[in-house]
Amino acid sequence: MLMPKRTKYRKQQRGKNRGVASRGTKVSFGEYGLMALDNCALTSRQIEAARKAITHHVLKGGKIWIRVFPDHVVTQRPADSRMGKGKGAPVLWVAKVRAGKVLFELSGLAGAAAQKALLSAGHKLPCHVKFVAAE
């Protein structure tokens, strides 16, 4: 699963995830892409599940680019613990995604096959997505 090799601090504040993406909004590397339509937090497990779904359709025909990386830690307190006594332990890593960000890119496949591969990956993700082609 994806996670940073090392970080400066073990825990981070949650922050807000508002607005639309200003960078990473165009298909840069491949021919086709999968774009997020709303803001969400993608866990490393969801990114991996989507990658596997794309790979299942691509076989040896194409190349995949993952344009998001989970670099934000989410902490959680143990079950049945009382209030106070500090922040919980790190549990999982998420990638904070804004609307309009291209999540995955694909090349080396025909348009219909690429659309099928990317939309099957979109079913694994917690936000609405759309299929986009390079200009």
Q: Looking at residue 5, what is its pLDDT?
A: 96
Give buried/exposed letters for 67-86 (b at 16+ CB in 10 A, else e): bbebebbbeeeeeeeeeeee
* Count of structural domains within the chain: 1
Task: Name the residue range of residue 129's domain.
Answer: 32-78+87-133
59 found inside a domain: yes
Give the Cα separation of 81 and 73 in Å (integer): 21
pTM of the model: 0.93
Under-70 pLDDT residues of the chain: none
Does residue 36 fall inside a structural domain? yes
The pLDDT of residue 59 is 86
Q: Quick check: is 14 in a domain?
A: no
CA distance 114 to 63: 11
| CATH number of the domain that residue 57 is part of | 3.90.1170.10
- Judge whether 129 lies within some domain: yes
Q: Is residue 10 part of a domain?
A: no
